[in-house]
């Protein structure tokens, strides 16, 4: 009778291995991936194909603003998909106009261009800056060391990290890097060709380094003096993650003159769509009109589907006061991360960041006995151990780990996260 029972398909026998093999055979290996093979999520939790549950404090790298499988987003997606999913930007439609209205309401008068990713949002800012300086022959954009602005050719030219540029020479011309949070260096770097300065409000990929209030205000004054644009990459640090819509609003809270601060352009993506790919840049009056008909565009930019989702996310964030949650629960997390750094100085050097844009800096790999002999960065080894414990986070460089959870992470979940992280730190401290 054996022959009439068909063998189960490979994917059922061992999904984890079978799915990883599909990647090994068919997917460009440009990502270093963890071993996890994920199958579904709910709120701040994700499950792998073996049924193991993880608390997701990485949020898909600051993307999952409302968590996984959000019912209202799923509902909005399916309703809009049935009504109108895509039309060309040759035509008008309500969701794009309304989303632009909402974003300008949250920032200041100006105009919004829609695209599909963070790198593309920044591309728009580079083109805006070049257009702005074109008639005077100015084109150069200063960006910060250790910054990250995306993986397109201009994105890697803008990014202040050698590792993203390696092997892709020649770089797109017109970018130079300056040390972050150093106002004098910015002033000294300006040439007659310089037209803009672009910085992240809080450096993300570098491992959570906020701009100082003095730096933001100083760059604003410098750009005004030299008639340059001040551009903020808010792709990771924006969208209420810090407790305010944009990170500079949080950084400048209570600082004299801080409430008047406004950059000339802001890029957005990540949290804007809760996983639906959408990016945007905002440009202040009058620069929002610099890119006239025919100068810039993208097929999928600002589709009815993407804009309906982004509008719903904004509505839920405001209705449920999720900015306040990011602030309060984020500050609760930050206090506990500080406590972990104090309690386990042999493992954790310090805690960093505000709201739901947080990080831990680990001590040097050589000083953590359990890590020293293994040929992997401390950040990767720490994240692997957190996976074993049941919590997902995002490594940064060699020694930092980031927490970028959904904006609706609850206090109880935050407590669970702290306990899981502490369980890993305890073991490393004892080893
Ligand atoms: C992720 C990120 C980008 C790039 O966004 P993509 O959607 O991956 O192109 C740009 N800037 C910052 C600060 C980012 O964190």
CATH number of the domain to which 401 belongs: 3.90.1150.10
Could you tell me which of 184, 175, 185 has the C-alpha nearest to residue 231? 175
Quote the CA–CA distance of 316 and 64 in Å, as a whole number: 13
Is residue 226 located within the same domain as residue 329? no
Mutate to test the pocket of ligand 1, among 269, 276, 279, 402 (most ligand atoms within 8 A of CB): 269
The CATH number covering residue 114 comes to: 3.40.640.10
Q: Is residue 423 part of a domain?
A: yes
Q: Calculate ∠ Cα 366-372-376, nearest 5°.
A: 110
Q: What is the 3-state secondary structure (H, E, C) of the chain?
A: CHHHCCCCCHHHHCHHHHHHHHHHHHCCCCCCCCCCCEEEEEECEEEECCCCEEEECCHHHHCCCCCECCHHHHHHHHHHHHHCCCCCCCCCCHHHHHHHHHHHHHCCCEEEEEECCHHHHHHHHHHHHHHHHHHHCCCEEEEECCCCCCCCHHHHHHCCCHHHHCCCCCCCCCEEEECCCCHHHHHHHCCCCEEEEEEECEECCCCCEECCHHHHHHHHHHHHHCCCEEEEECCCCCCCCCCCCCHHHHHCCCCCCHHHCCCCEEEECHHHHCCCCCEEEEEECCHHHCCCCCCCCCCCCCCHHHHHHHHHHHHHHHHCCHHHHHHHHHHHHHHHHHHHHHHCCCCEEEEEEECCEEEEEECCHHHCHHHHCCCCCHHHHHHHHHHHHCEECEEECCCEEEECCCCCCCHHHHHHHHHHHHHHHHHHHHC
Which among 277, 296, 319 is the end of a domain?
A: 319
Partners of residue 176 on adjacent β-strands: 142
Atom 5 of ligand 1: nearest residue by CA position: 118
Could you tell me which of 174, 170, 175 has the C-alpha nearest to residue 159? 175
Give the Å distance between the CA of 157 and the centre of ligand 1.
Answer: 14
Is residue 282 located within the same domain as residue 405? no
Is residue 34 located within the same domain as residue 90? no
Is residue 259 located within the same domain as residue 365? no
Give the Å distance between the CA of 270 and the centre of ligand 1.
Answer: 7
Q: Is residue 110 part of a domain?
A: yes
Could you tell me which of 256, 155, 138, 146 has the C-alpha nearest to residue 193? 138
Contact 49, 41 (CB under 8 A): no
Quote the CA–CA distance of 271 and 103 in Å, as a whole number: 13
Q: Which pLDDT score is estimated for 431?
A: 75
Q: Which pLDDT score is estimated for 8?
A: 61
Give the Å distance between the CA of 233 and the centre of ligand 1.
Answer: 8
Q: Calculate ∠ Cα 343-349-352, nearest 5°.
A: 100
Give the Å distance between the CA of 268 and the centre of ligand 1.
Answer: 9
Atom 6 of ligand 1: nearest residue by CA position: 118
- Domains contained in the chain, number: 2
Q: Of ligand 1's atoms, which has the minimum distance to the CA of residue 205?
A: 15
Q: Which pLDDT score is estimated for 10?
A: 56
Tokens in use for 360? 């831990």
Which among 300, 319, 338 is the end of a domain?
A: 319
Q: Is residue 198 part of a domain?
A: yes
Q: Is residue 3 part of a domain?
A: no
Q: Which pLDDT score is estimated for 7?
A: 66
Quote the CA–CA distance of 246 and 400 in Å, as a whole number: 23
Is residue 260 located within the same domain as residue 384? no
Tokens in use for 10? 């490979």
Is residue 251 located within the same domain as residue 333? no
Is residue 286 located within the same domain as residue 361? no
Q: Which pLDDT score is estimated for 12?
A: 55
Q: Which pLDDT score is estimated for 2?
A: 58
State residue 52 phi and psi, 5-degree precision: -80, 140
Mutate to test the pocket of ligand 1, among 115, 121, 124, 149 (most ligand atoms within 8 A of CB): 149
Is residue 76 located within the same domain as residue 87? yes
Give the Å distance between the CA of 234 and the centre of ligand 1.
Answer: 9
Tokens in use for 7? 């063998």
Q: Which pLDDT score is estimated for 13?
A: 59
Is residue 48 located within the same domain as residue 174? no
Q: Of ligand 1's atoms, which has the minimum distance to the CA of residue 119?
A: 9
**Which residues have C-beta atoms less than 6 Å from ligand 1?**
117-119, 122, 148-150, 200, 204-205, 233, 235-236, 269-270
Q: Is residue 143 part of a domain?
A: yes
Which among 296, 319, 342 is the end of a domain?
A: 319
Mutate to test the pocket of ligand 1, among 270, 279, 394, 396 (most ligand atoms within 8 A of CB): 270
Is residue 22 located within the same domain as residue 152? no
Residues ≥6 apart with Cβ < 8 Å to 154: 122, 123, 126, 172, 175
Is residue 152 located within the same domain as residue 244? yes
Contact 192, 138 (CB under 8 A): yes
Q: Which pLDDT score is estimated for 396?
A: 95
Q: Is residue 90 part of a domain?
A: yes
Q: Is residue 8 part of a domain?
A: no
Q: Give CA separation, 225 vs 18, 62, 144, 228, 230, in Å.
A: 60, 35, 20, 8, 11
Range of the domain at 87: 71-319
Residues ≥6 apart with Cβ < 8 Å to 383: 34, 393, 394, 395, 401
Q: Of ligand 1's atoms, which has the minimum distance to the CA of residue 151?
A: 9
Contact 296, 124 (CB under 8 A): yes
Q: Is residue 153 part of a domain?
A: yes
Quote the CA–CA distance of 147 and 58 in Å, as a whole number: 19
Is residue 306 located within the same domain as residue 215? yes
Could you tell me which of 156, 152, 208, 157 has the C-alpha nearest to residue 180? 208
Residues ≥6 apart with Cβ < 8 Å to 61: 236, 270, 394, 404
Give the Å distance between the CA of 329 and the centre of ligand 1.
Answer: 25
Q: Which pLDDT score is estimated for 342?
A: 98
pLDDT tens sequence for the chain (431 residues): 556 777 666 555 589 999 999 999 999 999 999 999 999 999 999 999 999 999 999 999 999 999 999 999 999 999 999 999 999 999 999 999 999 999 999 999 999 999 999 999 999 999 999 999 999 999 999 999 999 999 999 999 999 999 999 999 999 999 999 999 999 999 999 999 999 999 999 999 999 999 999 999 999 999 999 999 999 999 999 999 999 999 999 999 999 999 999 999 999 999 999 999 999 999 999 999 999 999 999 999 999 999 999 999 999 999 999 999 999 999 999 999 999 999 999 999 999 999 999 999 999 999 999 999 999 999 999 999 999 999 999 999 999 999 999 999 999 999 999 999 999 999 999 97
């Amino acid at each position: 009778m054996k022959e009439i029972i068909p063998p189960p398909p490979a994917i059922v026998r061992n999904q984890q291995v079978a799915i990883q093999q599909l990647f090994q055979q068919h997917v460009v290996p440009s990502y270093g991936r963890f071993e996890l093979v994920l199958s579904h999520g709910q709120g701040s939790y994700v499950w792998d194909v073996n049924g193991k549950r993880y608390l997701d404090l990485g949020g898909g790298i600051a993307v999952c603003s409302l968590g996984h499988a959000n019912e209202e987003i799923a509902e909005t997606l399916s309703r809009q998909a049935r009504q109108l999913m895509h039309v060309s930007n040759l035509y008008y439609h309500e969701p794009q106009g309304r989303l632009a209205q909402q974003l300008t309401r949250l920032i200041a008068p100006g105009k919004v261009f829609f695209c599909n990713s963070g790198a593309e949002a920044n591309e728009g800012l580079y083109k805006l800056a070049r257009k702005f300086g074109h008639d005077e022959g100015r084109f150069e954009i200063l960006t910060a060391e250790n910054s990250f602005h995306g993986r397109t050719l201009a994105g890697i030219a803008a990014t202040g990290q050698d590792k993203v540029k390696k092997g892709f020479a020649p770089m797109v011309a017109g970018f130079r890097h300056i040390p972050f949070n150093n106002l004098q260096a910015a002033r000294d770097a300006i040439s007659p060709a310089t037209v803009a300065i672009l910085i992240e409000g809080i450096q993300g990929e570098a491992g959570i380094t906020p701009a100082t209030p003095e730096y933001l205000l100083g760059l604003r004054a410098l750009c005004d003096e030299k008639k340059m644009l001040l551009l903020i990459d808010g792709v990771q640090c924006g969208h209420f993650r810090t407790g305010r819509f944009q990170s500079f609003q949080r950084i400048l809270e209570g600082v004299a003159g801080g409430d008047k601060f406004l950059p000339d352009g802001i890029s957005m993506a990540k949290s804007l769509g809760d996983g639906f790919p959408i990016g945007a840049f905002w440009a202040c009056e009058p620069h929002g009109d610099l890119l006239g008909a025919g100068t810039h565009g993208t097929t999928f930019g600002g589709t009815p589907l993407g804009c309906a989702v982004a509008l719903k996310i904004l509505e839920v964030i405001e209705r449920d006061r999720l900015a306040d949650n990011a602030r309060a629960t984020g500050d609760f997390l930050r206090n506990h991360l500080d406590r972990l750094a104090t309690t386990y100085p042999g493992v954790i050097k310090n805690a960093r960041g505000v709201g739901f844009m947080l990080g831990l800096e680990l001590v040097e790999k050589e000083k953590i006995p359990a890590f020293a002999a293994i040929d992997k960065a401390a950040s990767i080894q720490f994240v692997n151990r957190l996976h074993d414990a049941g919590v997902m986070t995002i490594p940064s460089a060699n020694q930092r780990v980031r927490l970028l959870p959904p904006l609706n992470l609850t206090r109880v979940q935050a407590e669970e996260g702290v306990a899981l992280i502490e369980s890993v730190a305890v073991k490393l401290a004892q080893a």
